[in-house]
C-alpha cells in the first residue's frame, strides 16, 4: 500500500534524478496527445517535477498542482515560473482533495493514479471537485492487454509496488468506469501498457470503458 509518508520518502529521495532516469519517449508522446485538451481551471494530482507543464494550452485560467513530495515540487516550481497562466503548487496528499465541490473544469494526472491504495475513493473525490461538463485527463500505465505480459505484471506487482511505489497491473480504465466515468482511451502505446485517457463523469454509470 502506497501510504503518503512512504511515497513522500521515495520521491524526495529520487527527485533530483527523476527527470533524467524516468522519462521515456512514449510517455512524452502521450503527454503531448493529452494535456493540450485541458481547459479552464485545472487541478493536477501528483504533479511531480512538472513534466506536463509544456503541454498545457497557454489560455488556461489557472493550474493548481498537488504533490506529497516537497523534493519534486521544488523542481516543479522552477518549471512553472515561465508559464503564461497562474500556477499554485501545494504539498498535499491528493487522496482526499482539499477543495470544495465543483472547483475545477479539468483534473489531470500523469503517472500518479497507479500508486494510490484506494482508487474508488480518489475517483469519487475527482467527481466531486469537477464542475458539470468537466473532464479527467490521465496518462497511465495499466495492466498489459497481452495475457502473458499481464501474468508477468501480476507476478511482479508486489516487488514493483515495494521499490517503485505503484502498481504495474492496475486496471485504471475499468476502475474509472466502475466509479461512474465514461472513459475514452485516446491513445495506447508501448504494448498497450501506456494509455492516454479522457474520463467524463456520467449520471448513468452503466457505461463500460471503451
Ligand atoms: C511517477 S511520479 C509522476 C510525476 C509526474 N506527474 C510525471 O508525469 O512525471 C508520481 C508522483 O505522484 C506523487 N504522489 C503519489 N501519491 C501521492 C499522493 N497520495 N498524494 C500526493 N502526491 C502523490 C509522487 O510524489 C510523485 O511525484
Burial of 147: CB neighbours in 10 Å, binned 0-12, 13-18, 19+: exposed
**Ligand 1 nearest atom to the CA of residue 19, by list position:** 9
CA separation, residue 137 to residues 6, 66, 126, 163, 180 (Å): 26, 15, 11, 26, 15
Residue 69 beta carbon below 6 angstroms from any ligand 1 atom: yes
Give the confidence band of 5 by pLDDT, cuts at 50, 70, 90. Answer: confident
Over residues 46-68, the pLDDT tens digits come to 999 999 999 999 999 999 999 99
**Ligand 1 nearest atom to the CA of residue 44, by list position:** 6
Supply the pLDDT for residue 208: 47
Give the confidence band of 210 by pLDDT, cuts at 50, 70, 90. Answer: low
Supply the pLDDT for residue 23: 64
Over residues 158-207, the pLDDT tens digits come to 888 888 778 888 999 999 999 999 999 999 988 899 999 999 999 764 55
**Ligand 1 nearest atom to the CA of residue 46, by list position:** 12
Supply the pLDDT for residue 18: 83
pTM of the model as a whole: 0.91
Over residues 89-121, the pLDDT tens digits come to 999 999 889 999 999 999 999 999 988 889 999
Helix (H, G, I), strand (E, B) or coil at 7: helix
Residue 75 beta carbon below 6 angstroms from any ligand 1 atom: no
Q: Among residues 190, 192, 183, 110, which one has the least CA distance to residue 144?
A: 192
Give the confidence band of 1 by pLDDT, cuts at 50, 70, 90. Answer: very low
Parallel, antiparallel or unpaired: strands 62-67 and 87-91: parallel
**Ligand 1 nearest atom to the CA of residue 22, by list position:** 9
For residues 100 and 164, give the distance between their C-alpha atoms in angstroms, rounded to a whole number. Answer: 32
Residue 11 beta carbon below 6 angstroms from any ligand 1 atom: yes
**Ligand 1 nearest atom to the CA of residue 69, by list position:** 25
By alpha-carbon position, which residue is closest to atom 10 of ligand 1? 112
Parallel, antiparallel or unpaired: strands 62-67 and 41-45: parallel
Q: How far apart are the first and last CA of the chain?
A: 28
Supply the pLDDT for residue 27: 83
By alpha-carbon position, which residue is closest to atom 24 of ligand 1? 46
- 130-141: strand order across its sheet: 87-91, 62-67, 41-45, 104-110, 130-141, 194-201, 181-189
**Is pLDDT at 2 greater than 70 in this prediction?**
no
Residue 18 beta carbon below 6 angstroms from any ligand 1 atom: no
Q: Among residues 124, 156, 129, which one has the least CA distance to residue 143?
A: 156
Domains of the chain: 4-201 (3.40.50.150)
Among 6, 18, 35, 46, which is best to mutate for testing ligand 1, by the most ligand atoms less than 8 A from CB?
46
User: Is residue 34 a contact partner of residue 51, using CB atoms and an 8 Å limit?
Assistant: no
Write the CB contacts of 199 (distance below 8 Å, at least 6 apart in sequence).
135, 136, 137, 138, 176, 181, 182, 183, 184
Write the CB contacts of 151 (distance below 8 Å, at least 6 apart in sequence).
none
Residue in the block written with cell 477543495: 99
Amino acid at each position: 500500500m502506497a501510504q503518503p509518508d512512504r511515497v513522500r520518502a521515495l520521491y524526495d529521495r529520487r527527485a533530483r534524478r527523476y527527470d533524467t532516469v524516468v522519462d521515456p519517449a512514449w510517455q512524452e508522446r502521450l503527454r503531448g496527445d493529452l494535456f493540450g485538451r485541458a481547459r479552464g481551471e485545472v487541478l493536477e494530482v501528483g504533479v511531480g517535477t512538472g513534466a506536463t507543464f509544456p503541454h498545457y494550452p497557454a489560455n488556461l485560467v489557472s493550474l493548481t498542482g498537488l504533490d506529497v513530495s516537497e523534493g519534486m515540487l521544488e523542481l516543479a516550481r522552477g518549471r512553472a515560473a515561465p508559464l503564461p497562466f497562474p500556477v499554485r503548487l501545494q504539498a498535499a496528499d491528493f487522496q482526499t482533495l482539499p477543495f470544495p465541490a465543483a472547483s475545477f473544469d479539468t483534473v489531470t494526472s500523469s503517472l500518479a493514479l497507479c500508486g494510490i491504495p484506494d482508487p474508488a475513493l480518489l475517483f469519487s473525490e475527482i467527481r466531486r471537485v469537477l464542475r458539470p461538463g468537466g473532464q479527467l485527463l490521465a496518462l497511465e500505465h495499466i495492466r498489459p492487454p497481452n495475457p502473458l505480459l499481464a501474468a508477468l505484471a501480476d507476478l511482479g506487482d508486489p516487488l514493483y509496488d515495494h521499490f517503485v511505489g505503484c502498481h504495474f497491473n492496475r486496471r485504471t480504465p475499468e476502475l474509472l468506469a466502475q466509479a461512474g466515468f465514461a472513459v475514452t482511451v485516446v491513445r495506447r502505446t508501448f504494448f498497450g501498457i501506456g494509455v492516454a485517457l479522457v474520463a467524463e463523469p456520467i449520471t448513468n454509470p452503466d457505461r463500460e470503458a471503451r
